[in-house]
Structure 1
């Protein structure tokens, strides 16, 4: 008869026999008789129950005559079992010991029941592992811390079991007593892992001598914001990861070199690939820079240059004002202004302040035409007295 574990319906209908009873029937009447009596249980499950019953009775299981032997040593099995009880999980115990053995067979051969975590803790661990596989950096750090603590507890168990000369053939392994010898052996281990396995070991540590009282000092108020120390990262920088990946290194080789799991390497690869894809999308979407148009040159007309000996309208206006003020004839005023202009052109070019008191005079169009004809050397038109009063 072949088969595996109980189905959900059989487990609810039938009662599972005790391991001691199954071991007694198998040893006295054979496995076929036990399979016929407990027909709803598979042969493999009955063999595990018989092995567990023999171990509970203090009888060592007979050596196997065929098949594959256990893939770990007795020392590794001891570390896995005791670490599993310390951490409350058989899976974490085998992982801390660095072996891949089925927990049911490992514990049954010594008549023990594998420890299992609660459904709440299993949900937290499953969620944390899923987030780490998706590349969540915070989840990866938390998962690495979890694995590091498991390995530290396994190291404490291994060092403690080395202090016990002989171990029983069945049941739990014997740990050494809590004394100074154990404290010396675990001096270099992780304090948190030591406290998880031997909580009473801290009482043996000598208390530090009281320090001499220091003079009172001014107490600085505490800083409201605190920043936790960054956790030591086993993985190298992103540039190193990209370089070694470009060289063709596999994830398994990187995990061996950096003492991390292969899943952690894959998580960092996925994170770097996602960042590179996002940068490529941003670069493809970004518009090309449009060059700014060159400013067109502004052409300003040059100021007209007055020919030598010719007066401007402004000069003629000043001559009219001078003739009215000084009670001289317009011809004398024009000659005076022309001499002044010639003298100013003979001097070096320099900015001089305007003549104080001379404003732009108002004159009639007939008077302006008269002055313009005088300046051009043409015949002078006739003027009336009313042309002088504007």
Structure 2
């Protein structure tokens, strides 16, 4: 797998860089993208550039933020130390650009599995605050910079360098030994192991160079997983300071979802507190609650039951007490409601004297006298 992140890279066969360069020169970049559709445009350009450089053809150099000397130190240190990132650190470059290797027709060296395991364990221990691991990481970085200083002094002895391929280093002779006299003996021995048998041009009394091999890391098994989130007190303190979840995730090296999970566990939230609802009426005391007479039909409507539920929630009383209060209110209101009229007839409106006259007419009693205003008030 080439690390392209696509399943096509595991299915299709990758072309040789020389084939990509030939098709790109004879047709176009679009033809290469159509022929090898599972490969990205930048990867195709890098492969063609590497193939041209391997055949001795150099393209137009782009503007770079570092010199040719820095590029030479980066390339040679990467192959000596076995890692492009260590070569970049040895040259003092901010980033290790792959174009530096492609321009010279070289494949960027990658770190070995053993070295990756050592660096990973050291990184975890250093991040956890292990003083010994921090010292070991700093020592390794100083050693990489020492190798870069040795290569910079050695490459200065070769004024003309090839346009492609690896850079030429000077031969291991007395001149080189004299130029590297004041450098780290361990870095010199790693970059030029054959220089140990060569005496400098001007011998000076000095102790023999002792090559020290870095001590292996005592851990032979993976270290237990450590919690990267700080303590609960630190999380609460950062929350009270007004730090956002994105800021906490950036400071502590965790995901934003992990920060939100710890917020929920600790009961922390940035949402505004709910506004307290003021009751519209004071709570009824037990002495003020009305007795609940039984209604004629013995049932309440759905609307009345809804009012009882609202009253129970608002006043904090039991459902039975709320139903009794609503039932008393309904019975009290029924005393002032007239019976509904028959279907299709309006409700009659007449004066009391006229109503008494009709009652006497129905009962067969003597009819009372009526005045004109009694009839007009109907």
Deviation of 1:71 (Å): 2.4
Gap runs ≥5 in structure 2: 206-250, 252-378
- Distance change >3 Å, CA 184–CA 100, structure 1 → 2: same
Deviation at 1:115, TM superposition (A): 1.3
Relative contact order (alpha carbons < 8 A, sep ≥ 6): 1 or 2 greater? 1
**130, 138, 145: which one aligns with 2:132:** 138
Q: Within 5 A, what are the aligned runs for 1:134-283?
A: 134-205=128-199
Structure 1 position 122 matched with structure 2 position 122: no
Per the alignment, residue 12 of structure 2 pairs with 14
C-alpha contact (below 8 Å) 1:60/1:169 kept by paired residues: yes
Q: Does the CA-based 8 Å contact 2:103-2:164 persist in structure 1?
A: yes
Structure 1 residue 35 displacement after superposition: 0.8
CA contact 2:47–2:102 (8 Å) conserved in 1: yes
CA distance in 1, matches of 2:6, 2:150: 39
Residue 33 of structure 2: aligned partner: 35
Instruction: Return closer, same or farther for 1:208/1:187 CA change in 2, 3 Å cut-off.
Output: closer
Contact kept? 1:5, 1:45, Cα under 8 Å: no
Residue 62 of structure 1 deviates from its aligned partner by: 3.0
Q: How does 1:68-87 map to 2 (within 5 A)?
A: 69-87=63-81
Take 1:190 and 1:99, find their aligned partners in 2: how far apart are those partners?
A: 21
Is contact 1:88-1:115 (8 Å) kept?
Answer: yes
Give the TM-score normalised by the residue count of structure 1: 0.50
Distance of aligned partners of 1:128 and 1:96 in 2 relative to their CA distance in 1, 3 Å threshold: same
Aligned to 2:89: 95
Q: Secondary structure at the match of 2:149?
A: helix
State the shift of 1:21 in Å.
1.2
8 Å CA contact 1:152, 1:189 repeated in 2: yes
Is residue 91–residue 103 contact of structure 1 (8 Å, CA) maintained in 2? no
CA distance in 1, matches of 2:11, 2:97: 26
Aligned to 1:49: 47
The answer as to whether partners of 2:90 and 2:144 remain within 8 angstroms in 1 is yes
Q: Is the 8 A contact 1:84 1:93 kept in 2?
A: yes
Compare CA radii of gyration and give the structure with the larger one. 1
The count of residues paired between Structure 1 and Structure 2 equals 204
Q: CA, structure 1 residues 126+193, in 2 after alignment: closer, same or farther (shift >3 Å)?
A: same
Contact 2:9–2:39 under 8 Å retained in 1: no
TM-score normalized by structure 2?
0.51
1:72–1:101 CA contact under 8 A, matched in 2: no
